[in-house]
Every structure is written in C-alpha cells, then in structure tokens.
Amino acid sequence: MHNLWQVHTDKFINEKESIMRNGNVYQIANGYMGYRGTLDEFGPDELVGITLAGLYDRVGDAWREPVNAPNGGFTEITLDGREISALSTRIKKHHQSLSLGNAVFERETDFESRGKALQIKSTRFLSADEPNLGVIKFSFTCNKAARVRIKTGIDYNIWDLNGPHLLKLTAKKKSGTLLVQSVTGEASKKVTVAEVIDLHFGKQTHEAGGNKNLRVIELDAKANQTYTFYKYFAVVTDNDPVKTSVHEAAIKKVEEAKDSGYDECLSRHNAQWAKRWEHCDVKIEGDDEAQHALRYSIFQLLMVAPVNGSANSIPARALSGQVYKGAIFWDTEMFMFPFFLYTYPEKAVELMRYRIKTLDGARRKAKTEGAGYRGAFYAWESQESGDDACTYFNIGDPFSKRDLRTYFRDKQVHISGDVAIAMWEYFKVTGDDSLLLEGGGEVILECARFYYSYAYFNKDKHRHEILDVVGPDEYHERVNNNAFTSMVAKATFEIANAMVEYLRRRHPDKLKSLVKKMDITGALPVFREMADLLYVPQPDETTGAIEQFDGYFKLKETTVKELKARMIHPNEYLGAGQGLAVPTKVIKQADVVMMLNLFKDRYTEQVKKANWEYYEPRTEHGSSLSACAYAMVAADIGKLDWAYSYFLKTAKIDIEARYKVYVGTIFMGGSHPAANGGAWMTVVFGFGGVKANAERVVINPRLYKEWKSLQFNMFYKGDSFNVKITRNDVTIIADPSNKCNRTFVVSGKSIECVPGKRLFVGYR
C-alpha cells in the first residue's frame, strides 16, 4: 500500500472543479490560518485562499464571512520571455504531496516550453511553532541555458465569496521587506502581510501594480543548475496580541524567521507536529485503507485546532475557505470536541472558552429571537461575537434564484444543549472544574434557563414539551417534540442540576455569587422539575421505533431513490417550503439515531437496532455529519459490517473530496472537520467501545474483522493511557507520570490502572 503518512497525486487536471477539490485535499493550516492546496503561480480564479481564523467582515447585505489574506506565497516564473504555469504550459510530469506527519505541501512540475525543460519544485508550510508565519522553499532547474525571470512577492488579488473585505490595500517596500497593508471594511481591523526572501542570484528590482507587490529577479540561468530561494511571509492583524503596530510586528516576524533560516523554522515546526502525533495517532493494524483515511481525518483536526489562548473555535468548513460563513455550528461540540477532549485537552479548552466568550451573544439572541426568551440561545452559525450569522432565508432556490425561508436560525434550539453537554463532558472526563468556575457554569445555567423559557407546559398531559423546533434533520422544520432536541434539553436540566449540586458541595461561595449575579435563585427548583417532567418521545412498545417528532409516522412513505428521481435540478434543496422531502419520511441526516448515540446508556440494544433499521433506509445522508452516527450505533449493537461501511464514508470524505459542492445556489466546497471527528469517534468509541464517565473508563471492544489490532492514546482526568486492543485482549499502559490509580472496566471486568504499570485483560 502507499505511504500511510501522505496524500499525493501525479496528475494535474486543468479544470476548475479539479483545482477546487485539490485545493481542499492539499490544504495546510496551523490554527491561525489555512492555505489552500493551490500552486505557487495560481491566483483568485484558482481559489487561492489564505483564510484567517476568527477575523470576520461583512460587505453590505451579503453574508458575513472570514477574511482571506493577501497571498504572500505567490511566485511566477517566465522562461525566455514566456510565462510558465500549470494552467498554460505543457506539463511533462507533475507530482504533489501533502505530508500528514507535519503538514508540509510539496509540488514538483516538469514543464516543456519551446524545446526547453524546466523543473519547478516548491515546499510550503505554515509554521506550527509561530502561528503568523508561512515558509516556502522554491527551486527551479532548466536543462538548457535560459533567460529566467521570477516574480515573487504578495498577490493581493483576493478570492472572496462575499467580498471585498480588505480596503485601502497599499503595497510598500521597506528595506528588503515587502508589505501589503489593509483594513477590514466593517470593523476597520488592520490586516498586514509582510514578505522577505533569502535569495542569492540574479538581479533584483521591485514592481508594484495589478494588485501585486513583487520583486522581479532576472538571471541567465545555466543549463542543469538548480537555483533555490526561500520565502517567509507573515500575516498579522489587529486580533493578534502584538505589542508594536501590526505592520512592525509582521516585519519582525519575517525578519526573525529569515535570520533563523529555513531548516531551523522547519525543525521547530516539525517538533510541534511530532508532539501532536505522539499522543493523537491511532494505529489500525491490518487495514491500510482505514488507517490512511483515519490518519488523514485526525490530521485535518490537528491542523485547524485553535491557537492556544485565542478562544477561537473550528468552523464547519475549518480553514479551507469562506464557505458556510466560516461559522461555528454544533459540529464542533458534537463531532470534533470529543477528539480533542480525549487526546489534546488544551485545545478542548479553547473550544469551550469560545462558547464562554460568546455567551453574551447567545443571551442577545435569546432576547431578540421570536417572542423573546431568557437565558442563552447559542447562534446556529456563530462567529466572533456569538451573534447569529445564519439568515432567515439561508438557502437559494436554484429555479427561481430566490432565497428560501429556512428555520435553522430561529428554531434549531438544540444548539444550546449541545454546548452545555460538551461543557459538562469536559468536566467529567478531565476532572478539571476550572472551566465551570470561569464561565462554563454560567453557560450551563443560561442554557437551562433558555429551555425553561422556551418550553410549554401541556396541562392535559401534565408535562413540559419543546415545541416548534428544527432537529438535526433540517428537511422537517417547525416540528413538535423532536426526540433529539427534547432529549438534549432534558439533559441540559440534568446537567444544570448536577452542576449546582457539585458547586454547592465544592465551591459554595462561587455558587452563591453566581446565583446572585445571574439572579436565578427561583429557577433552580424549577430546573429539577423540568428534568423530571420534560417529555421525550419514547420507543413504541411493539416495534421499538421512536417517532422523530409528533406526526412523523404519518408522513408519506417513499425511498430516497424515488425522491431523488423526482428532482428537477441537481442542486435543488429537498427541505424548506416546497422541498421534495418535506411531506415524506425521508430525512436529511441522523436524528433519532444521533440521539441514540449521544445517550447510548439510556436505550437498550433492541431499541437501538429497531431505530437503526427503521431510519437508515429513510436517511439521505445529505449532511456529512450523518454517517458517523450510523456507524457508531451500528458498532454499539454489534453490526460491525454496517458500522465499517459508514465509517469509511465518514473517514474518506475529505481525502476523496467526493462531496456535493452546491446546495441550492450556495457554494459548499471545503473540508469537513465534523466528519473527521466522526471518524475518530467511530474508531475509538465505536470499534474501541470506549466510554468514560466521572468514575471510570469503560472499554467494550468490538474490533472489525479485518483489524488485527487497534491502538490509541487517551487522557482521562489529566492522566495519560495507551490502549491496545487485539482480537482477544486489551493492554492498557498507564503513563508513569500519572497522578493516581484509575478504574477501567474492560468487558465487565473492573481493573485498577496503576501509574507506570501495564495491564493485560483478556475479553473473550
């Protein structure tokens, strides 16, 4: 099999679609920014994008979206006066690769132009050690003597979906450094890119024009001699904690990088990546396809994990562009967060701090949405302030080109509970209550308060109900008693109650001041009642099926295939208003099944199986979030073949880049970090059968038949463990630095893991 630490291709297909998809597959990122996997000579038409985390801008009435920075990585070359580009020159050979070990992108292209052969090689990385920094090594060799001109510098022709976001763009050259300075239109935030090169040949001049700030290097290249130079670029914005001005900071960063040199920058970068993999890799023995796809998925998450101290989160399309407004959805808490919680807790903290930082935005949303509510109603599409970026007309109809009313923003209320659940998971799995004390507790109570004000008391049935919502299945809007949503709301009350109890015991003063600050004394007893009396649809006594929402069982029976055959336009949206799925039982994504996964301890195997079998043929999997839920529940009920095929679907989505790119009139191309997180969860929680709670870690292995072993690391309560599952036994190594013994239960056998000791448990 191929190198399991790399993706590569020997093809360059000169088509927009292929360039766009490869831009996603080969992108690199370092949490501060992403750089799409495009070639050095490319521009905005090829979707070159350096997308910045946490910096957003809005132009007029268009969607607010993250800012793309000027491209400090730009280089183009001419040979005897002819421009050389993958878009226009004959290519004899092309190879490009992305190393999963350290997020280094390489391209090597052999061109032929008027009887001469020119090879271009470049290597690019975004430093994992210095978040603002990008580094490039560029070489070329011609087989015959030739006149070569290189233009390299900063291209500020920027690809935007709803731009332009950067105004007053000015190009400067200060000593040896090129600068492009600008400010965002909405908030006047400065964004500066600086670039320096380390080059020792040719004659250099400066050229600015056509939105490019360039150095022009001319030389008579000798036959078969390789010429190499290094580029360092830095992006610095007003969001960075810099002590000097933004442009001075940018200059300093590139100068320092140049002084350190390429090898030193690369070795610092590599050291950071080595640390990440040391704890985060998962090894699947016996199945290279699964191993490769899983490693690529983990790699995607590691690349986009927020910079420490930034309190940023991960958007639904990560840093692969401006798709989905660069917004943070429930994807983060429900699909990505668990990976970080178990393998890279310092990043899990950032994700939670982001929700604490945006609590005021969630409060504003609660007050102003619909009839007005109390508490925290988190944004469906959240940006830096927590105000909702989702519009009421969020999908364009490809027929009429009009915008369709969707209720994602005002009715997808499960988002608040998703946040509360993740916040509590953090506490349970790490044992660290600092987040609760530093705002997380307030988040949980505000989420409970929101559901309390959203719920309706049905006097006849003597129960609270959550009505008029959109569940994960967005094809059926404004439904009553959606099982997933109601269960998440109920769990939010349970968590709020458990947390109040915990604070009462451990931090009574903190509880007192919190209750006073939030003026919530009266609500606390009601939360207990809500937890007891909130209605959640129950399994049918004969079939075991749980009705997704009131009336779902009465909808029209059809198959996904039949439904799709009725589509008139390939991109038509199946939900909203007249959507084909609306009157039918066809659902967009896992909904009840998602609930059965999230609350797996509350349902029997029989109920899980009945619902998996009921909903699976009715699910379109129109969202990349769906497959992993089906995979995990299938693993849970021992249907490992079912689990495996859904696992591959979730794990291969980005490596294969075979996803839909338009929904309605909206461009959706980009990476899928939620599916990547789902791949990790399927392997560790699904096939590994891991489930931790506040008392112990439970492992019920369900190894897929092709796998000889599965090995991974996990943190539990701040202690580190290596777990290896083979067909017959489980070996757990507790790190010598662990603080104390921890209880693991392997297939029902309870064992104590002593720091520094290896334990071996047979499970068959």
Give the nearer residue to ligand BGC in terms of CB position, either 624 or 682: 624
Catalytic residue among 384, 446, 474, 477: 474
Q: Are 488 and 421 in contact (CB under 8 A)?
A: yes
Candidates 623, 650, 713, 738; binder of ligand BGC (CB under 6 A) is: 623
Q: Does 619 bind ligand BGC (CB under 6 A)?
A: no
Give the nearer residue to ligand BGC in terms of CB position, either 485 or 589: 589
- Closest CB 310 distance from ligand BGC, rounded Å: 21
Q: Which of residues 7-66 bind ligand BGC (CB under 6 A)?
A: none
Site string for ligand BGC, 624-663 (x = CB under 6 A): -x--------------------------------------
- Closest CB 316 distance from ligand BGC, rounded Å: 4
- Closest CB 666 distance from ligand BGC, rounded Å: 10
Q: Does 383 bind ligand BGC (CB under 6 A)?
A: no
Task: Tell me the window of 52-60, 144-152, 328-336, 565-573 that interacts with ligand BGC (CB under 6 A).
Answer: 328-336
Q: For residue 379, give Cα distances in angstroms to 263, 382, 384, 386, 732.
A: 44, 5, 11, 6, 41
Q: Three-state DSSP class for 83?
A: strand
Give the DSSP H or E segment for 489: helix 483-506
What is the Cα–Cα distance from 323 to 166, expressed in whole angstroms? 18
Phi, psi of 476, rounded to the nearest 5 degrees: -120, 100
> Regarding beta strands 226-237 and 133-142, do their DSSP bridges make them parallel or antiparallel, or are they unpaired?
antiparallel
Give the DSSP H or E segment for 634: helix 626-636
Give the nearer residue to ligand BGC in terms of CB position, either 178 or 681: 681
Q: Are 419 and 446 in contact (CB under 8 A)?
A: no
Give the nearer residue to ligand BGC in terms of CB position, either 329 or 337: 329
Helix axes 441-454, 483-506, angle to 10 degrees: 140
DSSP conformation letters of 166-177: EEEEEEEEETTE
Q: Are 379 and 364 in contact (CB under 8 A)?
A: no
Q: Are 152 and 232 in contact (CB under 8 A)?
A: no
- Closest CB 487 distance from ligand BGC, rounded Å: 16
What does DSSP assign to residue 231? E
Q: Does 329 bind ligand BGC (CB under 6 A)?
A: yes
- Closest CB 474 distance from ligand BGC, rounded Å: 5
Give the nearer residue to ligand BGC in terms of CB position, either 127 or 382: 382
CA angle 649, 651, 657 (to 5 degrees): 75
Q: Which string of b and e fits 612-633 if b means at least 16 CB within 10 Å?
A: bebbbebbbbbbbbbbbbbbbb
Provide the residue type at 278 as one letter: E
Give the nearer residue to ligand BGC in terms of CB position, either 46 or 388: 388
Task: Tell me the window of 37-45, 238-246, 288-296, 323-331 that interacts with ligand BGC (CB under 6 A).
Answer: 323-331
- Closest CB 326 distance from ligand BGC, rounded Å: 12
Residue 3 contacts by C-beta under 8 Å, 6 or more apart in sequence?
none
Q: Does 331 bind ligand BGC (CB under 6 A)?
A: yes
- 666 has which bridge partners? 663
Give the nearer residue to ligand BGC in terms of CB position, either 343 or 623: 623
Closest C-alpha to 699, from 625, 635, 644, 646: 635
Q: Does 548 bind ligand BGC (CB under 6 A)?
A: no
Q: Does 677 bind ligand BGC (CB under 6 A)?
A: no
Closest C-alpha to 143, from 228, 225, 227, 78: 225
What is the Cα–Cα distance from 470 to 481, expressed in whole angstroms? 10
Helices (H), 213-368: 246-260, 262-280, 288-304, 330-331, 337-343, 345-357, 359-368
Active site residue 369: no
Q: Are 135 and 257 in contact (CB under 8 A)?
A: yes
Give the nearer residue to ligand BGC in terms of CB position, either 476 or 588: 588
Kindly state the tokens that stand for 216.
Answer: 């022009």
Give the nearer residue to ligand BGC in terms of CB position, either 347 or 621: 621
Task: Tell me the window of 90-98, 277-285, 322-330, 722-730 that interacts with ligand BGC (CB under 6 A).
Answer: 322-330
- Closest CB 663 distance from ligand BGC, rounded Å: 7
- Closest CB 446 distance from ligand BGC, rounded Å: 21
Task: Tell me the window of 244-252, 325-333, 638-646, 746-754 that interacts with ligand BGC (CB under 6 A).
Answer: 325-333
- Closest CB 567 distance from ligand BGC, rounded Å: 17
Q: Which of residues 295-314 bind ligand BGC (CB under 6 A)?
A: none
Give the nearer residue to ligand BGC in terms of CB position, either 330 or 707: 330
Provide the residue type at 640 as one letter: L
Q: Does 472 bind ligand BGC (CB under 6 A)?
A: yes
Four-residue CA torsion sign, 685, 314, 660, 568: positive
Give the nearer residue to ligand BGC in terms of CB position, either 331 or 350: 331
Closest C-alpha to 528, from 488, 493, 504, 491: 493
Give the DSSP H or E segment for 527: helix 523-533
Q: Which of residues 339-378 bind ligand BGC (CB under 6 A)?
A: none
What is the Cα–Cα distance from 688 to 335, expressed in whole angstroms? 17
What number of other Cβ atoms are within 10 A of residue 70's Cβ?
29
Give the nearer residue to ligand BGC in terms of CB position, either 39 or 653: 653
- Closest CB 545 distance from ligand BGC, rounded Å: 22
**Cis peptide before 164, with omega less than 30 degrees from 0?**
yes
Burial class from Cβ neighbours inside 10 Å (0-12, 13-18, 19+) for residue 591 reads buried
Q: Are 589 and 471 in contact (CB under 8 A)?
A: no
Q: Does 330 bind ligand BGC (CB under 6 A)?
A: yes
Task: Tell me the window of 81-89, 255-263, 326-334, 431-439 that interacts with ligand BGC (CB under 6 A).
Answer: 326-334
Q: Does 474 bind ligand BGC (CB under 6 A)?
A: yes
Per rule CB under 6 A, count of chain residues that contact ligand BGC: 12
Residues across the chain? 764
- Closest CB 331 distance from ligand BGC, rounded Å: 5
Task: Tell me the window of 327-335, 518-526, 548-556, 568-576 that interacts with ligand BGC (CB under 6 A).
Answer: 327-335
Give the nearer residue to ligand BGC in terms of CB position, either 384 or 474: 474
Burial class from Cβ neighbours inside 10 Å (0-12, 13-18, 19+) for residue 658 reads exposed
- Closest CB 330 distance from ligand BGC, rounded Å: 6
Distance between first and last Cα of the chain: 31
Q: Does 589 bind ligand BGC (CB under 6 A)?
A: yes
Q: Does 67 bind ligand BGC (CB under 6 A)?
A: no
Q: Does 194 bind ligand BGC (CB under 6 A)?
A: no
- Closest CB 473 distance from ligand BGC, rounded Å: 8
Candidates 316, 496, 684, 753; binder of ligand BGC (CB under 6 A) is: 316
Q: Does 591 bind ligand BGC (CB under 6 A)?
A: no
What is the Cα–Cα distance from 319 to 505, expressed in whole angstroms? 42
Active-site residue set: 474
User: Under the rule (CB under 6 A), what is the footprint of ligand BGC?
Assistant: 316, 324, 329-331, 472, 474, 588-589, 623, 625, 674
